Amino acid sequence: MSVCIKTEREIELMREAGHLLEKVHDDLAAYVKPGMSTWEIDKIGEQMIRSLGCKPNFLHYNGFPGSFCISLNDEVVHGIPSKEKIIREGDLVKIDAGLIYKGYHSDAARTYMVGEVAPEAAKLAKVTRQCFFEGLKYAKAGNHLNDISKAIGAHAAKYGYGVVRDLVGHGIGTHLHEDPQIPNFPQKRRGIRLMAGMTLAVEPMINMGKADVVWLGDKWTVVTRDGSLSAHYENTILITNGEPEILTYTGTL
């Protein structure tokens, strides 16, 4: 396994890619409302990405038919945009988005709450986001990969949630998926030592019920086996010698 350390020039491009992706998420949020199909959101979002001079990196990735993965409620990730899938009040809508800017990838996911959602669903979304920030505290040069994994898993465990084990975060750069893999639960080994210049997509996927997931017949959509709700939160981050930099989120914490 080789983990790529980015140069200053590469980091600048990835920062730009990240900021552009943040803008796409922010602009797309207004369209996540009852009555919209996930196909419509995908098309609007694709237009946004292209109008920024970027390309959607999920489109045709291993044959994926959409520019965004849009997953509803018990769907964990990789939902295929569809005219048949209509967003309703109370839904948890996970939008995973990515783009390529001057050859560099960014990747980020949000869980949107549509209108009034059940308190337990809102709590799941909130805790999943917190899991990312718990992991982020350990994303520093000199720490090990497992420090991030452990912190994410421990936070989810406090609430009795199931941490998805079959899907993990990843390195990112000139490819969407680079080494290392980043599990959201503790490992027996401490993993690689983190170094300044690594760019990582950290993405807790947390289920209200058990951790088990299954793939649907469309070969893409991943759902919880027990039908419980799932939430997802992801940012592309940069490891530095000090505090990590979030490349796809510049909002206030």
Tokens 């590469």 locate to 10
Helices 119-136, 145-158: inter-axial angle, 10-degree rounding: 160
Shorter beta-carbon distance to Mg ion: residue 42 or 203:
203
Query: With CB under 5 A as the contact rule, which of the stretches 4-12, 105-113, 148-156, 180-188 interacts with Mg ion?
Result: 105-113
- Site residues for Mg ion, window 13-72 (CB under 5 A)? none
Nearest of 108, 91, 218, 225 to residue 166 by alpha carbon: 225
Shorter beta-carbon distance to Mg ion: residue 132 or 138:
132
User: What track of x and - describes contact with Mg ion for positions 199 through 228 (by CB under 5 A)?
Assistant: --x-x-------------------------
Report, in Å, the least distance between residue 207 CB and Mg ion: 17
Residues contacting Mg ion: total by CB under 5 A: 3
Shorter beta-carbon distance to Mg ion: residue 112 or 117:
112
Q: Does 75 sit near Mg ion (CB under 5 A)?
A: no
- Residue in 74, 75, 107, 245 binding Mg ion, rule: CB under 5 A: 107
Pairing mode of beta strands 213-215, 230-232: unpaired
Shorter beta-carbon distance to Mg ion: residue 117 or 206:
206
Shorter beta-carbon distance to Mg ion: residue 124 or 201:
201
Report, in Å, the least distance between residue 165 CB and Mg ion: 16
| φ, ψ for residue 226, nearest 5 deg | -90, 5
172 touches 141 (CB < 8 A): no
Residues sharing a CB contact under 8 Å with residue 211, sequence separation 6 or more, in sequence order: 162, 163, 164, 165
Q: Concatenate the DSSP letters of all residues of 163-213 into one string.
A: EP-S--EEE-SSSSSEEEEE-SS--SS--PBP-TT-EEEE--EEESS-S-E
Residues that bind Mg ion in the complex, under the rule CB under 5 A: 107, 201, 203
